[in-house]
Amino acid sequence: RTFASRLLEWNGGDGFATTRRDWQDAAIGLGRKAKVVLPTRDGQRTIAGTLLGIDETGVMSMRREDGSVEKITTADIFFA
């Protein structure tokens, strides 16, 4: 779909829900192990775990190897 068609859906009342559903249906890495490199004030940090998906606000979740869930707003993702 084009950006224009997504914008029409969004403004037509669907909001982010349709875009989120379509993204999750097409996402290759959900449920897969990955390493995520997150920017920090001092450079970067890396975490490992399984990508869970994105929430209704567009934030990605990853279940870390210790079982905790990390919310990710910006990162480089590398699949294992």
Q: For 31-80, how does the pLDDT look when each residue is reduced to its tens digit (9 = 90+)? A: 999 999 999 999 999 999 999 998 888 899 999 999 999 999 999 999 97
Domains and CATH numbers, the chain: 3-79 (2.30.30.100)
Q: Supply the pLDDT for residue 39.
A: 93
Whether this model's pTM surpasses 0.75: no
- Of residues 22 and 43, more confidence is placed in 43
Cα 10 from Cα 18, distance rounded (Å): 8
Cα 22 from Cα 75, distance rounded (Å): 21
